[in-house]
Amino acid sequence: MLRTYGPGCDGNLVDPKLEKIPDEATWIDLEEPTNEEEQLVERCITVDVPTQDEMSEIEPSSRLYEQNGSLYMTVSVLFGVEDGVPSSTPVGFVLTGNRLVTIRYATPKPVRAFMEHARRDPELVRDAPTVLVRLLDAIIDRLADELENVGAEIERLSSAIFVKDAQDRRIPADKLTRLLTSIGRAQTLVTKIRYTAVSMNRLLSFLAGSKLLHEAAQQDTRNHIASLTTDVTSLSEHASFLSDNLTFLLDASLGLISIEQNAAMKLFSWAAVVFLPPTLIAGIFGMNFHYFYFPDLSWPYGYPLSLALMLASAVGPYLYFKKRGWI
């Protein structure tokens, strides 16, 4: 689909069979463009529309470059968080004159929200540099919101792991195992956020050093770019801090699971020690061979004595372990 925004254009769909794109359009948005839509943009704006494969390149030289008086930029944008499957999608920007062309094959939430704002506030799309900076600002704000959500999730996980209940009981191992899944999901989201932040930081550094943008943008737009660069740097540092916290929670969870497993094995160990002597005594007094027998088999007190001996051999180790604090 091909939409145009600008003075007099509020996100109208453009038929690729038309001869031209409206002159007042400052933002041309291509969502999963067809060949006809790409050809229309290339013919009317005289730029090369990057393909999806070209935008998927990871080296900076393929994502950020200037060609024939136009700036070509690609940034990886976070999306899919609402669906529980966080991922990143490349979004391409082509800035030429007073036209901004965006190429995307998914609709991240900040892009969708900015499109709605652009329809209500034409000032956001008064010129191409303003559209570019405001759209990048929306993406960065979304990253900040997701980092806040991750921080709240870390607080919840930390309380679930380290805070005991009113009876001061331990956390069951099966609950800790479920917590590992939550930690893994949070770590995946933080990784995607950091990837978007690094990609955005490269794009802003490229814009800050571009003479073409400095000539086309107003002073407030250039100041906005410097502010966004500072914000992205801070978000990257905060994402690293949250990642370290998640690593600590993961190590703590694994350690607690190991402690619970060791406690279970400890239970089996002392149970074996407690019941081994009575079993040995019962085995000895239970032997009855044809040419061998115990002389005390006919003793009237033999059976009660063997029971008492087995009980003493079981209670003795139990009391000893209890005194040492092993059980």
Q: For residue 49, what are the contacts with CB-CB under 8 A and spacing of at least 6?
A: 30, 33, 38, 41, 42, 94, 101, 103
Q: For residue 273, what are the contacts with CB-CB under 8 A and spacing of at least 6?
A: 317, 321
The residues pairing with 12 across neighbouring beta strands, listed in sequence order, are 4
Q: What is the predicted pLDDT for the residue at 166?
A: 42
Cα–Cα distance measured from residue 230 to residue 178, given in angstroms and rounded to the nearest whole number: 37
What is the three-class DSSP state of 325?
A: coil
Q: What is the predicted pLDDT for the residue at 266?
A: 75
Q: What is the largest CA-CA distance in the chain?
A: 117
Q: CB-based burial of residue 158 (10 Å sphere; 0-12 exposed, 13-18 middle, 19+ buried)? A: middle
Q: Name the pTM for this structure.
A: 0.78
Angle at 86 between CA 51 and CA 190, to 5 degrees: 110
Q: If we measure between CA atoms, which residue out of 304, 258, 310 comes closest to residue 284?
A: 310
Q: What is the predicted pLDDT for the residue at 9?
A: 79
Q: How many helices (H) and strands (E) would you count in the chain?
A: 9, 7
Q: What is the predicted pLDDT for the residue at 244?
A: 93
- Going residue by residue through the chain, which has 327 residues, state the pLDDT in tens, using 9 for 90 and above: 888 888 877 777 787 777 788 888 899 999 998 888 888 888 888 888 888 888 888 777 778 888 888 899 999 999 988 888 899 999 999 998 888 999 999 999 999 999 999 888 888 888 888 999 999 999 999 999 999 999 999 999 888 888 764 445 566 666 777 888 899 999 999 999 999 999 999 999 998 888 877 776 678 888 888 999 999 999 999 999 999 999 999 988 888 778 777 777 777 777 777 777 778 777 766 666 555 555 656 667 667 777 787 788 778 877 777 777 766
Q: Please report the DSSP string for 190-252 in residue order.
A: HHHHHHHHHHHHHHHHHHHT-HHHHHHS-HHHHHHHHHHHHHHHHHHHHHHHHHHHHHHHHHH
The residues pairing with 87 across neighbouring beta strands, listed in sequence order, are 79
